[in-house]
Amino acid sequence: MFHTLGRYILLIQLSFRKPEKFKVYWAEVMREMVSIGVGSMGIISIISVFIGAVATIQVAFQLASPLVPKSTAGSIARDSTILEFSPTISALVLAGRVGSSIASQIGTMRVTEQIDALEIMGVNAPGYLIAPKIIAGIVMVPLLVIYSMVLGILGGYLACAITGSIPTSDYIMGLRDGFNPLIIQVALVKALCFGFIITSICAYQGFYTSGGALEVGQSATTGVVYSCIFILFADLVVTSVML
């Protein structure tokens, strides 16, 4: 465990050494931002709308009492969507989509000796391959989480309008009542941590792949599994500290 942790820390440290050419690295960062951000908008859109709708319907069912104002369902659905559903579930989905892609891409370069060729040419391979992915993940995952929050709340509104479980006016009133900006801050801190965890762990697994195509698949699977575990652990830590 300590050997793996030390090798992981040294790899991250090596990834953020001063680059030889900022232009090349900047182009890689932009390409990774498009891949991680724009490429993930479709799946995040579908998941967020349905999660927001289901959360609102379930809260409305559990609070079906004449003693509880119907607007309370909107407040609970808002807080649960912003605090937990949007950041955590989005990160778990991104670990599967983005993380496996990163691990398999770098792993394939390792087993086909492309990384060795970069190092022979004097290129800092971790900096060229890993740092742009980590930077793109730290920037784009919070933006995707904000996008997921908006769609999740919109999904709750659509669920109210279609099912009639809560009047839409009460739902909107619940969204406004008792809003605490701290929940946005907590969600964004979670998103920053999740973006770093997904990209760095999967890049580490891919970078130290050895063997052939079978080992590349195993590295991608291991990277996704470890990313999901550490996402849940970071979720617990951030929530405990900030709330």
Q: What tens digit of pLDDT does each residue of 191-231 get?
A: 999 999 999 999 999 999 988 888 999 999 999 999 999 99
Query: Which residues are within 8 A (CB) of 1 and not within 5 positions of it... i.e. 6 or more apart?
Result: none
Residue 178: band (very low, low, confident or very high) from pLDDT cuts 50, 70, 90: confident
Burial class (CB in 10 A: 0-12, 13-18, 19+), 153: buried
What pLDDT, on the 0 to 100 scale, is given for residue 63?
A: 79
Q: Is residue 3 part of a domain?
A: no
Q: Alpha-carbon dihedral of residues 126, 189, 1, 16, nearest 10 degrees?
A: 20
What pLDDT, on the 0 to 100 scale, is given for residue 190?
A: 96
Q: Is residue 5 part of a domain?
A: no
Asked if the model's pLDDT at residue 68 lies above 90, the reply is: no
Q: pTM of this prediction?
A: 0.90
Q: Is residue 44 part of a domain?
A: yes
Q: Alpha-carbon dihedral of residues 109, 200, 86, 96, nearest 10 degrees?
A: 30
If one counts every other C-beta atom within 10 angstroms of the C-beta of residue 139, the result is 16
Counted domains in the chain = 1
As a three-state string, the secondary structure of 192-207 is: HHHHHHHHHHHHHHHH
What pLDDT, on the 0 to 100 scale, is given for residue 12?
A: 92
Q: Is residue 24 part of a domain?
A: no
Q: Is residue 201 part of a domain?
A: yes
Mean pLDDT calculated for residue range 115-141: 90
What pLDDT, on the 0 to 100 scale, is given for residue 223?
A: 93
Which of 62-66, 153-157, 165-169 shows the lowest mean pLDDT across its residues? 62-66
Please provide the average confidence, as pLDDT, over all residues in the chain: 90
Mean pLDDT calculated for residue range 36-58: 92
Higher pLDDT, 148 or 18: 148
Mean pLDDT calculated for residue range 11-32: 86
Mean pLDDT calculated for residue range 7-18: 89
Give percent above pLDDT 70 in the chain.
Answer: 100
Q: Is residue 17 part of a domain?
A: no
Higher pLDDT, 14 or 1: 14
Strand, helix or coil at 113?
A: coil
CA angle 176, 50, 99 (to 5 degrees): 110
Q: In which domain, by residue range, is 106 found? A: 30-242
> What is the C-alpha separation between 133 and 176, in angstroms, rounded?
37
Mean pLDDT calculated for residue range 112-121: 88
Q: Is residue 183 part of a domain?
A: yes
Mean pLDDT calculated for residue range 10-32: 86
Q: Are 120 and 17 in contact (CB under 8 A)?
A: no
Mean pLDDT calculated for residue range 82-94: 92
What pLDDT, on the 0 to 100 scale, is given for residue 119?
A: 86
Short-list 230, 211, 209, 231, CA closest to 219: 209
What pLDDT, on the 0 to 100 scale, is given for residue 1?
A: 81
> What is the C-alpha separation between 210 and 49, in angstroms, rounded?
41
Higher pLDDT, 69 or 146: 146
* CA-based torsion, 229, 231, 237, 240: positive or negative: negative
Short-list 93, 87, 101, CA closest to 199: 101
Residue 147 backbone dihedrals phi, psi, to 5 degrees: -60, -40
